[in-house]
Amino acid sequence: MNDRPSGARLPASPRPRGDARVSIRDVAALAGVSIGTVSNTINRPERVRRLTREAVERAIAELGFVPNQQARVLTGASSQVIGLVVLDILSPFFMEVASAVERAANEAGHMMILCDSENSIAKQAGLLQMLAAQRVRGVLVTPASADVRIAREAPASERPQIVFLDFKDSAQHCSVSVNHVAGARRAVAHLLGLGHERVAFVGGSRVLHQFDQRLRGAVEAVVAAGLDPATALVEEPVSSIGIRDGMLAAERLLARGVPSAIFCGNDMLAFGVYRGLAAAGVRVPEDVALVGYDDITFAADWIVPLTSVRQPVDELGYRAAHLLFDHSSGDPGHVHQQVVLQPELVVRASSDPSAR
């Protein structure tokens, strides 16, 4: 264990504060200790006596020294960087998730790298390889497909520690997901309970595998109500998940005869559907009841406050980050967990005029 005499004064700073060329050797010289002591203070502080550690920390602060993350990992210390790979960084839902993950990372003294797979399996594979090359501690992934072989079968050098976010795999992996089947079932049961006999679902598993689960929940609600899904449920697929896609879906539904109720795979699609209906003079909720999914921050402040299935977004991101810390800790006693969170239906004026 390294130490230095208590109360010893630090020598003059060998280089100006914040100089990009400041090295660990400069820190050691200023603190009056060995390079190994500085390294231990950064990577294994429990091995260094308090007074020595405080002297090194003062030197680091005075010089503005920033440890080299990759060099730090090569010493055997755990990385302080995690990755987050989402499907669409323009989505308010994923931005809220990222905010929760970053908060958890900051509390743990870590940093987060946010990556956008653009819902592409090929780009997702490249991002995981890149993050592995950066020696991150681990990665939270919302997979671009239900086919997650990249996370199971990639060589160890290309496969960082992974926790799935908003996706439940098998007991072989940690995951935090939401019961989308239950969420959609509640949404459609709500519409049927208001007397609607035909419901359109705007979504499609070709875009998001979560939409497939939401469609399954919609079918279950229709069957539970004693109706035939072939006639009571209209599927309207989309090519993406934004407002423009919702507007185009509304145009197609209007051309064929729009049902009296529409359930959308996410809130952005619902906003687009609303605009498409409004442009055609169709009123929400007087002519068509409208329900979204996610309950993003401004759903309650939409032109007509939007009924939506609220995902526990903050809990989703926060718990996933902590599960990743546990999974990547190297603890041989770690047990993989598959956490499933429950959504809730928030009824507003877009589906039920009485909710005004």
Rounded Cα distance, 129 and 107, in Å? 27
pLDDT at residue number 119:
84
CA distances from 244 to 93, 247, 248, 322, 346 (A): 17, 5, 6, 36, 24
Closest CA to 158 of 194, 129, 193, 136: 129
| CATH 3.40.50.2300 domain span(s) along the chain | 81-179+313-341, 180-311+345-355
pLDDT band at 1, cuts 50/70/90?
very low
Closest CA to 342 of 316, 307, 322: 316
Is a pLDDT exceeding 60 seen at residue 338? yes
43, 79 in Cβ contact below 8 A?
Answer: no
Rounded Cα distance, 232 and 222, in Å? 7
Answering whether pTM is above 0.85, one says no
pLDDT at residue number 4:
46
| CATH 1.10.260.40 domain span(s) along the chain | 1-77
Q: Domain spanning 81-179+313-341 has what CATH number?
A: 3.40.50.2300
Is a pLDDT exceeding 90 seen at residue 331? no
For residue 82, give the 3-state DSSP assignment. Answer: strand
Rounded Cα distance, 303 and 274, in Å? 9
Q: 17 φ, ψ to 5°?
A: -55, 135
pLDDT band at 239, cuts 50/70/90?
confident
Architecture of domain 1-77: Orthogonal Bundle (1.10)
The residue type of 64 is G
Q: Count each helix (H run) and each strand (E run) in the chain, helices first.
A: 13, 12
Rounded Cα distance, 61 and 129, in Å? 34
Overall fold of domain 180-311+345-355: Rossmann fold (3.40.50)
Torsion angle, alpha carbons of 245, 250, 252, 257, to 10 = 160
If you ran DSSP here, which 8-state letter would residue 115 be given?
E
